[in-house]
Structures are given as structure tokens and as C-alpha cells.
Amino acid sequence: MKRICLLLIVLVLASCKDGKNTSTNSTSEVIEEKNALIFPEEIHFKSLRQVTFGGDNAEAYWSFDDKQIIFQSNNKNWNVACDQMFLMNANETFDSIIPPMISTGKGRTTCAYFLPDNKHFVYGSTHLGGDECPEAPLRKEGKYVWPIYDTYDIFVADLQGNIVNQLTTEKGYDAEATVSPQGDKIVFTSTRNGDIDLYTMNLDGSGVKQITFELGYDGGAFFSPDGTKIIFRSSRPKTEDEIKEYKDLLADGLVQPTNMELYICNADGSELKQLTYLGNANWSPFFHPSGKKILFSSNFEAERGFPFNLYMIDIDGKNLERITHGETFDAFPVFSNDGKKLIFSSNRNNGGGHDTNLFIAEWQD
């Protein structure tokens, strides 16, 4: 779901593949094509490389040594019916070849994240609830919604796809797990208390601690580079009507993500504060390598739900800066651990269809 998920992409996006694999081009042609992917205003991108060419691809996360990337895809040409997890080397491109699938191929999966040994990863999966893909409703009474499947649990698997541990067994939704860069904690989203809150736990699933407590959906959380802070998105109802609508949707296993703001707190949940007050949907946040800024996706400047672009803001809420300048969708920004590269999902270079692909930029401040 996180960080969530490709359902939002399906709703607001319009683009399709017409890209070509550049592996047979000369060096000069490759450089020219990379630069052609960058809009003139995108000054933080030194270069840009398209990684996938078809389907919806997102939630891409680096291994701790930055050599590999795990991502989720529903590319029908890769023989999947809904989101499954795939593995790639950081320098690979997938146009005519299929990357190895490292989830079970059963149910629906979300939010895979490497563990510090670079040999295992955590991810959310519904496969214990059934082999088939659960339905993915996008509308309820005319309003855009996300499903919160109560069959999601969090698992640990090796890079061959073998599940070696199940970290959550509580009734309800457990997913959206990410790992601290310090390699000692996992933060995840759960409905085990009847609401949708954030929790932390040790890498083996022990030491579970609830860290958010206010009514509303809290999710898509990430640790700061030093592991001391957490950034996340939240949709928190305030009025009586909003609270009733939220609770009614949650009872049906749904949330409405069209109004979300970013919140930041210490890793133990203390000193919680709202970071953005922009309106519309502000989500998929990730810390800048300095730990002093947040990169995120937002449509706050949009009048009809899109475009979504990437923005950057200081952790005190100041100095908002627009990073991307597309007309459709840019989201899920994630920095490599060395801070030199940024992977994100985008509809650029797709010719007006519905595909959402992965792009890797060389980042420059």
C-alpha cells in the first residue's frame, strides 16, 4: 500500500511506453537520451536513466550496499496478475528481459525493504489469505479509496524468494514495513488496535511498540539516515462528519487518501509535529541524505487531482522547493544509501498511456 501503492497511480496517471532500450546505443546517444528525460527546471538531476518499460512499477528500495534494488510491479508481460516483488542489480534495465520475481507469486504484495545483511528483505503479503489477487476497489460512493487488506502480514524472505520468518501474526492489516539505516528497527503500519497507526519492532519481530495514537491513517513511514526520526504521511479526520466517514470506510477495510499531510517525530514517537500544511495529497516522503530535508510527492498545486510532482522541504517546514516538473505523475523518491542517486516512479517518456516506470537519477545538490 504505501509508499503505497500503485492504486493511486492507476487513478491519476496517464502515460504509456514508447521508450527504447539504450544498451545498443553509442555513449553519446545514451547521454543525449538520458538528458532528454530531464525537464530543464530539474536542476538536481545530473543524469536520468529509465529502468523499466511497461506496467506499474514502484516502491523501489536499495540494498544497504546500494548494489541491488527490490521493487514491486504488476507488469502483465512478467506473468503476474497483481503486484509482486522483483529483484534487480542497480545498473540493470528491463525492456525485453524479465527480472527475477522474489515473492511467492500468490496473493498481493507491497513494500519490500532490504535487511542490513543484503541477503534478506521484509515485505507485506496477503498470500496466507488466498492464492488469488484480492480485489482492489478504487471507488466507493464516487470517492477514491485504498483497500486496507486484513490478510496482509509482514514476512522475511531471502533473495531466492524463500520465506524464512513471519514477523506479524496479529489480526488485521500489517504492512508498509521499512528498516532503519542503522539496521536495528523496523517501522510499519497496523490496524491491530482498531485504527491505522505506526509501530516499531526489532528485526526479528520482537519488541513491538505503538508510536502514533491519533485517529486517522498513519503510513508510509521512513527513518532518518541516523535512525533518530521518522517521517510519514497521515490522513487525520477532524470534524464530526470526517470522523464518521473515516470510521465507516475503515469498517469496510478502506481509506480515502485524497487529503494527506506529512508528519515527523522521533523514532520513539515523541515530539510529533505536522510538517506540511499544503492541502490535497502529500505522501511518499523520504529523507534527504543530510537528514535535514524531506523529499516527497504532492498534487497540492493541482486543480483536478494531478499532476503529482516531487518537492523538497526542510524538516522545520521551511524552504519548500519543487524538484520535478512533469505534467502527470512523479512519486516514491528514494535515495541510495550513499546519497548519490535517487530512484523514483514516473509517467514521463510514456507517450500518453498508463504505464508507470522506474527512473534513476544522479543527484546533485
Q: Give the model's pLDDT for residue 191.
A: 98
> For residue 226, what is its C-alpha cell?
541516523
The CA distance from 357 to 97, in Å, is 15
Give the angle subtended at the CA of 35 by the CAs of 30 and 37, to the nearest 5°.
105
pLDDT 10s digits, 96-144: 899 999 999 999 999 999 999 999 999 999 999 999 999 987 888 878 8
Q: Give the model's pLDDT for residue 106.
A: 97
* Residue type (1 letter), 360: I
Cβ atoms within 10 Å, residue 218: 27
Contact 101, 85 (CB under 8 A): yes
Q: Give the model's pLDDT for residue 54.
A: 93
pLDDT in tens, the chain (365 residues): 544 444 444 333 323 223 333 333 333 444 445 588 999 999 999 999 999 999 999 999 999 999 999 999 999 999 999 999 999 999 999 988 999 999 999 999 999 999 999 999 999 999 999 999 999 878 888 788 999 999 999 999 999 999 999 999 999 999 999 999 999 999 999 999 999 999 999 999 999 999 999 999 999 999 999 999 999 999 999 999 999 999 999 999 999 999 999 999 999 999 999 999 999 999 999 999 999 999 999 999 998 888 999 999 999 999 999 999 999 999 999 999 999 999 999 999 987 888 999 999 999 99
Strand order of the β-sheet with 357-363 is 45-50, 357-363, 341-346, 330-335
Q: Enter the DSSP assignment of 23.
A: G
Q: Where are the alpha helices (DSSP H) in 68-145?
A: none
List the chain domain ranges. Answer: 6-363
Question: Which residue in the block uniquely carries the three cell numbers 513494500?
Answer: 111
Taking the CA atoms of 143, 58, 193 and 235 in sequence, report the sign of the dihedral they define. negative
Contact 84, 110 (CB under 8 A): no
The CA distance from 228 to 223, in Å, is 7
Q: Give the model's pLDDT for residue 19.
A: 35
Say if residue 242 is exposed, middle or buried (CB neighbours under 10 Å; 0-12, 13-18, 19+): middle
The CA distance from 93 to 140, in Å, is 38
The CA distance from 214 to 131, in Å, is 34
Which CATH number applies to 6-363? 2.120.10.30
Say if residue 205 is exposed, middle or buried (CB neighbours under 10 Å; 0-12, 13-18, 19+): middle
Contact 251, 308 (CB under 8 A): no
Question: Which residue in the block uniquely carries the three cell numbers 535512525?
Answer: 227
- Enumerate the β-bridge partners of residue 230: 223, 265
pLDDT 10s digits, 128-138: 999 999 998 78
* Residue type (1 letter), 343: I
Q: Give the model's pLDDT for residue 34.
A: 52
Q: Give the model's pLDDT for residue 305.
A: 83
The CA distance from 240 to 255, in Å, is 17
Closest CA to 333 of 287, 292, 290, 365: 287
Contact 126, 148 (CB under 8 A): no
37-to-25, 110, 131, 359 alpha-carbon distances in Å: 16, 28, 39, 9
Say if residue 159 is exposed, middle or buried (CB neighbours under 10 Å; 0-12, 13-18, 19+): middle
> For residue 248, what is its C-alpha cell?
465507516
Cβ neighbours for 25, distance < 8 A, ≥ 6 positions apart:
33
Question: Which residue in the block uniquely carries the three cell numbers 509508499?
Answer: 3
Question: Which residue in the block uniquely carries the three cell numbers 535515495?
Answer: 335
> For residue 156, what is its C-alpha cell?
522475511
